[in-house]
Structure 1
Amino acid sequence: MARPVTVAAEQSTPAVPEVRHRGAFLALMCSVQFILLVGGTVVVVSLPAIRADLDLAPAQLQWVLTAFSLTFGCLLLLGGRSADVFGRRRLFLAGLFVFTLGSLLCAVASDAGLLIAARAFAGIGAAMASPAAMSLLTTVFVTPRERSSALGAWAAIGAFGATLGNVIGGVLTDMGGWRWIFLVNVPVCLVAFVVAFSVVPAIRPEHRQRLDARGGLLITLGVAALIVGLAELQVHGPAPRTWASLAAAAVLVGLFVVAQARGADPLLPLGIFRHRTSFGFLFVLLTAGVGIGAYFTASLFMQETLGWSALRAGFAFVPWAATVAITARVVSRTTHRVGPRLVVPLGLVLCATGAALLALGLDSSTGYAGGLLAPFLLLGLGSGAINVTCTVTALSGIPGHRHGVGAGALNSTQALGSTLSIAVVAVLTTLATQRALDGGGSLVGSTLAGQRFAMLVVAGVALTGAVLAAIVLPRRLPRPAAADEDVLLARPPAAPLP
C-alpha cells in the first residue's frame, strides 16, 4: 500500500501574501492559462499537415489530438493537491517548465511516437501549472470583490484561449509550418518563467499536509478510464470495449470515494461537498457540457454542411469567445452583490435559448449573420455569466490551504463536462440521424435532423438546470473566513443542505 508523502511547512503563510505588482501578477497568471488552453486546441487545424509530414495512420492522428487532453484531464486533481502540499509557486514553475519542454519536444518530433509522447508530457505540465495558477490567484486576491474580478479576468482569457487555438494554429501552420504551433510556446513560456520569479509570491504550505498517493493513483486511473470510455462511446457507440472502460472508471472512482471518506488527510475532502456552495461544481460541469455540445455541433455543421474550412469556422467562433470574455468581466464585478441564485438560472436560460435557436438554424441555406451569430452570442452571454459565478461560488466553500485541489477539481469538472457532452451529443446525433435515414430521408437532411435533435436535448438540459439552480444555490456568497479553517471542522459558510 502506498504511503502518503509528507511535507513539513517551512514557514507560515500570511493571510494575504505581499505582492508588489498585483497587475503584473494577474496578467502573468492569465497569460499562462491562455497558453495552456491554446496548447490543447491549437493542433486541430494542423492535423492534415502533421499527417502528411510524418505519414501518420488515422489512429495515430487521433492520439496526437487526445494525448494532451488525456494527461491534462487525468492529473488536474493530483496537480492541484500537489500545489497545496509542495507549494503553489513551486508547482506553477515546475509545470510551466514541463509544458515548455514538452512543446519543444513536439516541435522537433520526427515520428508519431515521439510526437504523441511529447504531447502527453506537455499535458502533464499543464495539469501542474493550471490549478497552481488558479490557487495562487485566490490566495493573493481574497476579498469578494477582488477575487471575483480576478477570476473574471481568468475566465475571460480562458474563453479566448479555448476558442482561438484553432485560429492561431491555422495562421502559424500557413505561415511557417505545423512545427511552429509548438515552437512558438518556447520563448513565450521562458519569458513567463523568468517574470514569475519577480511577481509570484513564494507561498509556503501553512499546515503540515500529506499527499494521498493512493487516492491520487485511484482518481488518475479512474478519470483516464472514463475519458477513454467516453472517447470509445463517441467513435464506436455502446460496444463491449466502451462498457468495459466505463465500468472500470466507475469501480476506480468508487474506490477513490471510499478512500477519501476513510483517509486522515484525503486528496479531496468530501466535507467540502456538504454546503450549498459545492453546487457550483455541478453547474460548472453542466455549463461546460451545454457550451461544448453546441460548439461541437456548430463546428461540424459549418465544416461538413456549409463546406467551410476549419480556419474559417474557428474565426466564426470569435464573437462567441468575445461575448464570454466581456460577460465574465462584467458579471465578476457584481457576483458578490447579486449572488449565484439569480445569475446562474438566468445564464442557463440564455444558454437554453441559444441552443434552441441554433437547432432551428441548422439548415443548408443558413447564413452566418442570420442563423448562427445570435445563438453564438446568447450562448456566450449565458456561459460567461455562469462560469465566473460558479467558480467563485465553489471556491468560497473551500479553505484557503486547499484551494489548489479545489482549482484542480474545478478544472477536472469542466474537462469532464466537455468530454461527456461531446460523447453524448455524438451518440444522440447518430441515433437521430439513423432514425431519419430509416424513414427515407436524404443523408444531408437526416444529418441535420440528428443535429437539431441533439441541440434540442441540450436546450432541455439547460432549462432543467436553470430550475435546479434556482432551488439549490445560495442567495449570497459567504465572505472568506478571517482564519483559514478546514471546512470539515468549521461552521457551514452558507446554508447547509436540508
Structure 2
Amino acid sequence: MRGERLVVVLACVCVFAVILDATIVAVALPGIRGELGFGEAGIGWVVTGYTLVFAGFQLLGGRCADVYGLRRVLYAGLVVFGVGSVLAGLAPNAWLLLAARAVQGLGGALLVPTALACITTVVPDGARRASALATWSMVGAVGAASGTVLGGVLTQAAGWRWVFLINVPIVVLAAALVRPALPPHGDGTRRPLDLPGALLVTAGLTLVVYAISGSGTALTSWLPGAAGVLLLSAFLGWEHRGREPMLPLRLFRVRTVSAANLTMFAIGLAFFATPILLSLYLQGVLGYSPLQAGLAFAPSSVLTLAGGRLAGRVTPRWGLRRASVAGSLIAAAGFGLLAVLTETAAPYVLGVGIPVAVVGFGIGLAFTPITVAATRGVEPGYAGIAAGLLNTTRQTSGAAGVAVLTAISTAAGDHGAHGYAVAFAVTFGCAAAAALLAALLLPGTSAAVAPPVAANR
C-alpha cells in the first residue's frame, strides 16, 4: 500500500506540472504579446503549439513506457520538460518561445501517459485503482483550473517568464520521487518504436488545427487542412499494416476504450478552451488585471478538487455510466450559465464565480470514470498506449477547442461580450454531447472488464 501511494504521488506531481503548463500561460498572453511582438492570430500558438506537440507525441510516449520501462521514460520526460521550461522562460523572441514550447510539449508527451501507466500497472483493478485514478484525474483537472490563478499571481508579481520557470522546482521534486517509487527497469518489452507513425500523426494534427484556427486566408487555411487529413489517413494506413504499430487499431474494439475517448473528446472541447476564453474575456472586455483574471478561476479550482474527491467514492458504487453522465451534465449547466450571463452586467459572484465553480465540480466528477473506462480491458503490455491514447484525445480536443472557440468568439462579436457568449453556448453543447455519449456508450457498471487486447493490430 505504501508503494502504491508513492506511485500515485509521483504520477500526480507529473500530471500537475504538465497540465498546469497548458493553462498557466493564459493570463500571461497579453504580456507575452506586448514584449515579444506576437500578432493577434499568432499569440494563440503559444498555447496551441505546446498542445499539439503534446498530443501528437503522446502515443509515442506511451509506447516508450511499454518498451523501455516506466522509470527510464519518466526520467527522460522530466529532463526534456525541464529544459523546455527554462528555454521558454529565457526566450528573447517569439520564434524561440514557440520552439521552447514545442520542447515542453515533447517532455509532457513522455510524462503523462507514463505517469498514468504507473498507476494502471502498479495498482490492482477495483476500488483501489478507482480511488488512485480519481486522485490522478482530480489533480490533472485542478492543474488545468488553477493554472490561470497561479499564472495571474506570477505575471502580476514577477512577470510572464515565471509562468514557465515555475516548472523547474516541480520537475526537481518529481525526479526525486522516481527512484524510490519505481523499480530500475520496469517491465519494458524492447519492441521497436513506431517513429514514422508519430511523425505522421503529429504533422497531421498540426496542419488540421492550423486550418481550423483560420490563421491565414481561405486558401492558406484549407490547403494545410487537406494535407493534414491526408497525413492522418496515411497514419491510420501505416498503423494497420505495421508489424509493431504505435496505436494498435484493435484497441478501439474494446468498448470502454472507444467510448471513453469519444466522451473525453466532447467534454475536452469545452473544458480545456474555457480558461483561455474566460481570461481573454475578463481582461479584454471587463478590464481585469492579470491577477484579477487569475483569481477569478479560484472557485473552479476548489470545486474541481471537491468533484474529484467525490468521484473516487461514487464511481465504484454508481458505475462508469452514471458517474460520467452526472459530471458532464453538471459541467454543461455551468457552461450554460456562462453563456447566459456573459452579456449581462451581473456581478462577479453571479456572472463568473458560480458558473466556473459549477463547471469545475462537474469536470472533477466526470474525469475519473472516463479515465477508468479508457484504461480498462487492456493488458499490461499496452497500458502505456491506452494511457497515451486517452491523453492524445484530451489534448487534441483542447487544441481544437481553443482554435474553434476563439475563432467563433471573434467572428460572432469581434472580441466583444456577444462573441464570448456564443462561444460559451458552444461549450454547453459540447458538454451536453459528452453526457449523451456517456449515457449511450459507457457500461453501466464499474466492474465490467472487457477482454484484454493482446494483438498488435
TM over 0.5: yes
Inter-partner Cα distance in structure 1 for 2:253 and 2:387: 18
Shift of 1:110: 3.9
Inter-partner Cα distance in structure 2 for 1:335 and 1:174: 40
Give the TM-score normalised by structure 1: 0.83
Q: What SS does the aligned partner of 1:454 have?
A: helix
Q: How does 1:69-468 map to 2 (within 5 A)?
A: 69-205=51-187, 207=189, 209-231=191-213, 233=214, 235-236=215-216, 239-277=218-256, 278-433=258-413, 447-468=416-437
Distance 1:149 1:421, change over 3 A: same
Inter-partner Cα distance in structure 1 for 2:91 and 2:317: 51
**CA shift digits 1:77-123 (9 cap, x unpaired):** 11111111121211111110111122223334444444333232222
Inter-partner Cα distance in structure 2 for 1:20 and 1:186: 27
**CA shift digits 1:413-443 (9 cap, x unpaired):** 011111222233234334444xxxxxxxxx8
Aligned-residue identity in percent: 35
Contact 1:280-1:391 at 8 Å conserved across structures: yes
Shift of 1:384: 1.7
Distance 1:194 1:431, change over 3 A: closer
Distance 1:165 1:372, change over 3 A: closer
Inter-partner Cα distance in structure 1 for 2:456 and 2:198: 23
Distance 1:369 1:223, change over 3 A: same
Counterpart in the other structure of 1:37 = 19
Q: What SS does the aligned partner of 1:365 have?
A: coil
Contact 2:10-2:115 at 8 Å conserved across structures: no
Shift of 1:377: 2.6
Inter-partner Cα distance in structure 2 for 1:109 and 1:407: 32
Counterpart in the other structure of 1:14 = none
Inter-partner Cα distance in structure 1 for 2:426 and 2:173: 45
**CA shift digits 1:236-283 (9 cap, x unpaired):** 5x7222212221121111111122222232211111211320200011
Q: Which has the larger displacement, 295-304 or 417-426?
A: 295-304
- Aligned residue pair count: 455
Give the letter aligned to residue 255 of structure 2: R
**CA shift digits 1:53-86 (9 cap, x unpaired):** 5x53437755544443332222111111111112
Inter-partner Cα distance in structure 1 for 2:42 and 2:191: 41
Shift of 1:152: 1.1
Contact 1:144-1:480 at 8 Å conserved across structures: no
Q: Which has the larger displacement, 421-430 or 26-35?
A: 421-430
Distance 1:141 1:360, change over 3 A: same
Counterpart in the other structure of 2:453 = 486
Shift of 1:464: 3.9
Shift of 1:485: 4.7
Contact 1:290-1:351 at 8 Å conserved across structures: no
Q: What SS does the aligned partner of 1:229 have?
A: helix
Unaligned runs of 5+ in 2: none
Please, what is the CA RMSD of the aligned residues? 2.8
Q: Which has the larger displacement, 25-34 or 85-94?
A: 25-34
Inter-partner Cα distance in structure 2 for 1:301 and 1:61: 15
Unaligned runs of 5+ in 1: 1-18, 434-442, 491-498
Shift of 1:326: 1.5
Q: Which has the larger displacement, 59-68 or 176-185?
A: 59-68
**CA shift digits 1:278-301 (9 cap, x unpaired):** 200011111111223544443333
Q: What SS does the aligned partner of 1:81 have?
A: helix
Give the letter aligned to residue 398 of structure 1: V
Give the letter aligned to residue 141 of structure 2: A
Contact 2:155-2:290 at 8 Å conserved across structures: no
Contact 1:349-1:463 at 8 Å conserved across structures: yes
Distance 1:208 1:196, change over 3 A: closer
**CA shift digits 1:128-159 (9 cap, x unpaired):** 11111111111111222111111111122112
Inter-partner Cα distance in structure 2 for 1:385 and 1:245: 37
Contact 1:327-1:381 at 8 Å conserved across structures: yes
Inter-partner Cα distance in structure 2 for 1:293 and 1:184: 22
Distance 1:479 1:315, change over 3 A: same
Counterpart in the other structure of 1:10 = none
Give the letter aligned to residue 462 of structure 1: A
Greater Rg over alpha carbons, structure: 1
Give the letter aligned to residue 260 of structure 1: E
Counterpart in the other structure of 2:37 = 56
Inter-partner Cα distance in structure 1 for 2:111 and 2:178: 12
Inter-partner Cα distance in structure 2 for 1:230 and 1:185: 30
Inter-partner Cα distance in structure 2 for 1:489 and 1:109: 42
